[in-house]
Amino acid sequence: MSMETTLIILKPDAVQRGLMGQILSRFESKGLQIAGTKMMTISQDLANQHYSDHKSKPFFAGLVKFMTSSPVLVLAVRGVSAIAVCRKMMGATFGSKAEPGTIRGDYGISNSFNLIHGSDSPGAAEKELGLFFDAGDIQEYALGNQDWIYDASEDL
């Protein structure tokens, strides 16, 4: 098991609905470390870069319009297997199909507004973190309770 840092974006609907604190709290309660935060309005150029893999898909223009419509909260989240853990916590892409107990399952119903983005692989996380955070923005620090989060015998 290895420490990973992943990008999480609390999308405009999460910000506008006042869910930032509740969602952020879930990651911290799980034992994940918040290593960086930034509240911002995503520019058209940054949205185009971030979602470039979807450029040829019919929903691309609407996605870019949505992601640039209001502020977002961008997070760098760190932990053992953080990418998989965060994605499981997020739930299925569409709120109407997400299981209760997940972020989208508990807070979402829409198939368009899905509250949260999370990197889907180590390569994507590295690329995405580089798009949203500058050098020095992501902090390196030890959690004082780390021995209580992970099995103390694990070599981290």
Could you confirm whether 54 is annotated as catalytic? no
What average pLDDT does the segment 2-13 reach? Answer: 96
Token output for 53: 């893999």
Predicted pLDDT of residue 147: 82
Out of 117, 118, 128, 133, the active site residue is 117
pLDDT band at 143 (very low <50, low <70, confident <90, very high): confident
Predicted pLDDT of residue 111: 86
> What is 3-124's CATH number, 3.40.50.620, 3.30.70.141, 1.20.210.10, 3.10.20.30?
3.30.70.141
- Among residues 128, 88, 107, 130, the alpha carbon closest in space to that of 15 is found at 107
Predicted pLDDT of residue 96: 93
Q: CA–CA separation, 109 vs 113, rounded Å?
A: 8
93 class by beta-carbon count within 10 Å (0-12 exposed, 13-18 middle, 19+ buried):
exposed
Phi, psi torsion values for 140, nearest 5 degrees: -105, 115
41, pLDDT greater than 90: yes
1, pLDDT greater than 90: no
Sequence ranges of the domains in the chain: 3-124
- Among residues 77, 101, 88, the alpha carbon closest in space to that of 10 is found at 77
- The model carries a pTM of 0.93
| Model confidence pLDDT, tens digit, residues 73-126 | 999 999 999 999 999 999 999 999 999 999 999 999 998 899 999 999 999 999
56, pLDDT greater than 90: yes
Instruction: Check if the beta carbon of residue 38 is closer than 8 Å to that of residue 146.
Output: no
Predicted pLDDT of residue 78: 97
